[in-house]
Amino acid sequence: MLPSREGPAGIRYDFNDGARVLLPEGRWRVALIDEDSGNILFHCESSAGWVTSAKKYYIRFRIRVWRGDETSPLLDEVLSLRDQHVLISFPVGTLGDLLGWFHYAERFRTQHGCRLECSMAPNIITLLEGQYPDIRFSTPAEAACAPYATYRIGLFFGGNDTHQPLDFRQTGFHRIAGHILGVDHREEAPRLNLSAPRTIAEPYVCIGVQSTCQAKFWNNGRGWAEVVTHLKTLGYRVLCIDRDPTTGHGFVWNHIPYGAEDFTGNLPLQDRVDLLTHASFFIGLSSGLSWLAWASQIPVVLISGFTLPGAEFFTPWRVFSSHGCSGCWDSMHEKFDHQDYFWCPRHKGTDRQFECTRLITGRQVNGVIDRLDAQIRGNQKT
């Protein structure tokens, strides 16, 4: 794609995936500068062709182009996003990631005063667009092809330092969006439509027990059954709201816990929000439904061991075991294998496999539930 801006003497430039300059025939000198620090990031002499920055995340670039031995630059452009068309591209196929990332895009829009377009999956657009009227939403196929600047949000593995200023494992995977966009990286939930009326009279708790790989599951065989039983003794209905009632691979399959009500199904995300909004709380894993519950502004009991507590949004009801192995997702020494459903980089094939969640007991989770339940009942009395 050609750069979207035309400069003097046939030079073209823009800031889509970093600073980009396309030079016509001639003899040129080009400098790419970090305007905020004054550091020269790249300087070269060139004939016709491309000059692009290695860094693709937000930097207030300055592009300077001289012709031949001239001392005054023919092009001297400092990145300025006010009133400019900017595209932020999000990956498709993820829920929790995007819910964790999205408010950084809104923060970016208000900070720079740009005309922002966000590209993402259609089901996420349906969930968010009514709450963000100042943002244009599009699918990847519909996204504009010639904005002034483009930034891509994602998880970049393998020590990538071109698309992110630091490794996402050092900051929490949702906060990396703030670093990529150069805005305040403190987390904030996206705005959702929480106006649906309550449809279930009894107190209820929603749970999500399924995920995308076995390391994310609560791999304690008795845990969910103990939790469901305990919730019922406290007077709650227990609604399982996963998309699928059963997921797994090969000889390992994960089912709705015994005693939970089957509210599973491939439903619109807003239907899930409508149900979550009136739940007393949600219990889940390091997966998309936990992020949806967080954005629905209800307490979340989050059970995870392959991530460390700082990897997800803050919740005072985080359940983690310090006994045994943990935190491989956040380790700079491990590389997540998306193709390996049973990924356990340190103990796969041994009796310690998935001990990060096997050692989280039903008793431990029920203790957290009791504290949360006591707080809820105390608030109701006052």
41, 105 Cβ separation under 8 angstroms: no
CA 309 to chain centre: 16
Q: How many CA atoms lie within 13 A of 260 on its CB side?
A: 24
Collapsed DSSP state (helix, strand, coil) of residue 245: coil
Residue with token string 């105390």: 378
Query: Which member of 14, 17, 97, 330 is catalytic?
Result: 97
CA–CA gap between residue 39 and residue 162 (Å, rounded)? 17
| Measured distance between the N- and C-terminal CA atoms of the chain, rounded to whole angstroms | 61
**Beta-carbon contacts of residue 362 (< 8 Å; ≥ 6 apart):** 220, 222, 223, 224, 225, 226, 227, 230
Q: How many CA atoms lie within 13 A of 27 on its CB side?
A: 3
Q: Which of 107, 115, 158 is nearest to 137 (CA)?
A: 115
Phi-psi region of 126 (alpha: psi -120 to 50; beta: other; left: phi over 0): alpha
Q: Is 373 a catalytic residue?
A: no
Instruction: Cite the active site residues.
Output: 97
